[in-house]
A and B are shown apart, each in its own frame.
Chain A
Amino acid sequence: MSKVIIIGAGPAGLSAAITIAENGLNVLVIDEYMKPGGRLLGQLYEEPNGNWWNGIKESQNLFDKAVSTGVEIKLQTPVSNIEESNGIWNVYTEDEVYTTSHLLLATGAAEAPLPIPGWTLPGVMSVGAAQVMTNVHRVKPGERGVIVGVNVLSSAIAMELKLAGIDVAAITLPKMNMVTKESGNPLDVMNSLLHVSHMAPSAFVKMGSKLMKNDFLKRMGITFFPKNGVKMWDIPIMLRKAVVEIYGESQVEGVTIATISPSGDIIPGTEENIAADFVCIAGGLYPLAELAAVAGCPFYHVEELGGYVPLHNERMETVLEGLYVAGNITGIEGAKVAISQGVTAGLAIVNSTDGGKQEAKLNDSIKAIEETRNKAYIQFHPDVKAGKQKLQNYWNEHWKAVVSQ
């Protein structure tokens, strides 16, 4: 049997590789980045038990374990295309075309942009870019920043910037337009923030989240939300102001913000400038799934999973023979869930090569994903389980339709 190929050396890809190698199969992991770990590399937060989740150490541990179990890892190798012919998957890279009967896509997630005037100026970057510069490369993205977009990722990264001694002047909303939609609407943002309120050191947010179970109270909450925001880690979170424009001659010099109504409309005449030398755009994550698309996987848009997701089942199998998925390509969740999914994908691949000897382990691993999900400290979408159920229903419908044809 040929070498299993995994695209993506993040938490899902590496944990799948370890699982497969431990079962005696050869594995090649390909990733275009210069370090293994994927998005896990940048993560840094304190868990409720007081331990720090250090993405660099976690990535190193996974990498070391993979290498010691005999996994081959090729970094700095972008994959431009995948193609199936006669039951064999061809994986195209710049130097070589690799072939395999079992291909796992663990390509992770990308950040959605929030195009606002001035966003192409040097010094404007995605919030994930600032995270990687700060924690992985240890270069300050700037001295004083403004984060545009209020969500789980941006609040976590704001805290990481503070830790590294970088001043964050404010976290605020983008001005509402066709593209920014929900992320510019204070009510929608408040709704999503209620689900991370357990992370908030601010009593206002914690208390508020308990009170705001119904729509009327939420609207009241927005109306009475202090104009200058509430402070989280000493950073003002502004839900009543929005960035109208990022300004600067040849690079970022600051942002213009204005007061907005509870429904997100700008109140004219309230514009003011905040000086900053960098701006982070936080539009949220979506599954990075182009390779599944060129392969011909059916896709479904599942809001709870963060966007378009290639159809797959709980064993991480796609509808295409020999093609598997794991990690954020299957929906936006934390690294621990991705690691669990990697184990399942790995076992599913082994199971298909040894005549089904892994059935019991495979079922246990599927339960383990569920347990990891239940215990997750950071949840990107509160209804991720409902999203997973929707996808399972699409899967069942797909095979019913195939049988009836």
Chain B
Amino acid sequence: MTRRIIHHPVLDRIDETDTVSFTFDNKKYKALRDESLAAALLANGIRTLRHHEEFGTPRGIYCNIGHCFECRVTVDGVQGVRACLTPIQEGMDVTSGDKLLTSVRDWRANNE
């Protein structure tokens, strides 16, 4: 977990010993207890949280405080959960989102 800032010149040292495990797209990872899912994923080097529903382009966190909804993932079967507002729990099952069928767009392309 080299991406973590354990020592800081002004802020207190963080405790990196209390960990939980979770899965993201069926792979197992470790996180610090009670940290946000967004932080846990980034600490594990995961930047792509989902692919855009319409365009299939990769997306990651943007605002990190719940405003933009860019970090939405599926947590224990619940869709559209903001990773930045979700404290990680032991055994959490997280999956990213993929491109969906967008037939409305296809219809327009064929009829314009």
Chain A residues packing against B (C-beta within 8 Å)? 32-34, 39, 44, 52, 54, 56, 76, 78, 110-111, 120-126, 128-130, 132-135, 137-141, 163-165, 250-251, 288
Contact = CB atoms under 8 A, between A and B. Distances in A.
Given A76-B85, A138-B14, A125 B62 contact: yes
B6 A138 contact: yes
Contacts of B43: 139
B9 A163 contact: yes
B5 A33 contact: no
A137 B39 contact: yes
Interface stretch (B21-29, B64-72, B104-112): B64-72
Given A133-B39, A139-B5, A125 B61 contact: yes
A54 B48 CA distance: 31
Nearest to B7: A165
Contacts of A139: 3-5, 39, 42-43
B39 A56 contact: no
B95 interface: no
B4 A122 contact: no
Nearest to A129: B64
Contact of A141 (B34, B42, B68): B42
Given A76-B85, A128-B64, A129-B64, A164 B48 contact: no
A270 to B, nearest CB: 29
B62 A126 contact: yes
Given A78-B85, A250-B48, 14 more contacts: A34-B87, A54-B10, A76-B87, A120-B52, A122-B47, A129-B62, A135-B11, A137-B36, A138-B14, A139-B4, A140-B4, A164-B5, A250-B58, A251-B47
B65 A33 contact: yes
Contact of A111 (B60, B63, B85): B63
Contact of A78 (B35, B39, B66): B66
Contacts, number: 99
Contacts of A121: 58, 60
Contacts of A132: 64-65
B79 interface: no
Contacts of A44: 10-11
Nearest to A41: B65
A163 to B, nearest CB: 6
Contacts of B59: 120, 122
A34 B61 contact: no
A336 to B, nearest CB: 19
5 contacts: A44-B11, A123-B47, A132-B64, A138-B14, A251-B48
Contacts of A56: 11
Interface residues of B, number: 35
A130 B64 CA distance: 8
A156 to B, nearest CB: 14
Nearest to B35: A137
Nearest to B60: A122
Interface in B29-47: 34-36, 38-39, 42-43, 47
B66 A33 contact: yes
A279 to B, nearest CB: 11
B11 A126 contact: no
A267 to B, nearest CB: 30
Contacts of B65: 33, 39, 128-129, 132
A108 to B, nearest CB: 9
Nearest to A34: B87
Contact of A163 (B8, B49, B52, B61): B8
A163 B63 CA distance: 21
Nearest to B42: A139
Nearest to B48: A122
A128 B63 contact: yes
A223 B62 CA distance: 34
B19 interface: no
A193 B66 CA distance: 29
Contacts of A129: 61-65
B64 A125 contact: yes
A126 B63 contact: yes
B60 A123 contact: yes
Contact of B10 (A52, A133, A288): A52
Contacts of B39: 133, 137, 139
A129 B57 CA distance: 21
Q: Which of A132, A133, A137 has most chain B Cβ within 10 Å?
A: A137
Given A32-B66, A33-B85, A135-B11, A251 B5 contact: no
A122 B63 contact: no
Contacts of A39: 65
A194 to B, nearest CB: 28
Nearest to B43: A139
